[in-house]
Amino acid sequence: MTTTTTSDLANAGARAKLTGNLTRYYLVRAIIGAVWVVAAVTIGRSNATAAALLLVSYPAWDALANWFDARGSGGLRTNPTQAFNIAVSLVAAIAVAVALQLSMNVVLAVFGTWATAAGLAQLIAGIGRWRMFGAQWAMILSGAQSMLAGVFFVTQAGLAKIPTIMDVAPYAAFGAFYFLVSAALLMFANRRRAA
């Protein structure tokens, strides 16, 4: 016979709250990612100013989102991968703004470098969260795929073809999809745990 203590109930309650916060975070990331993709496809592909704003906003939003994530799960000291991701994403947003003055090939190279670094941070965070929350395989896969996409972007940036925002849109779409899957997996795992 198993005895449930007050400490067990408190730990379960804290875990459920953290899981709920993380689920909401993943859902918000999925929704904003999907909105970004729709904006890129409908407005950004034909309007250079809109494309530039969208390209700068993508890593800037990632920095802000990682800050919210870290704040909701113990702070930056407790979450060094989010702190790293915030720094890398802020630098990337500034670098994209500068690269836009040079060429889209440079922009894609910056995106590739950022996607590789941010993907590594996401991969590490997903592995670390697996112990606490479970259901992190989509985040781990997303981090790994982001790293591969980053290498692909850097390679493509060196070619003669001039890239557009449409070269980045599929990357953002996969990111939104992975966040949606992660939110669904966490909801399912939390309900199973509660039952």
Taking only the tens place, the pLDDT of each residue in 90-127 is 999 999 999 999 999 999 999 999 999 999 998 998 88
Domain boundaries of the chain, sorted by first residue: 9-194
Residue 2 pLDDT more than 50? no
Q: Look up tokens 């969260």; give the residue.
A: 129
Within 13 Å and on the Cβ side, how many CA atoms surround 16?
12
- Please tell me the number of Cα atoms within 13 Å of 186 on its side-chain side: 28
| pTM, entire model | 0.85
Looking at residues 145-157, what average pLDDT do you find?
96
Residue matched to tokens 């941010």: 118
Of 109, 184, 192, the residue nearest 151 (C-alpha):
109
CA distance 45 to 59: 18
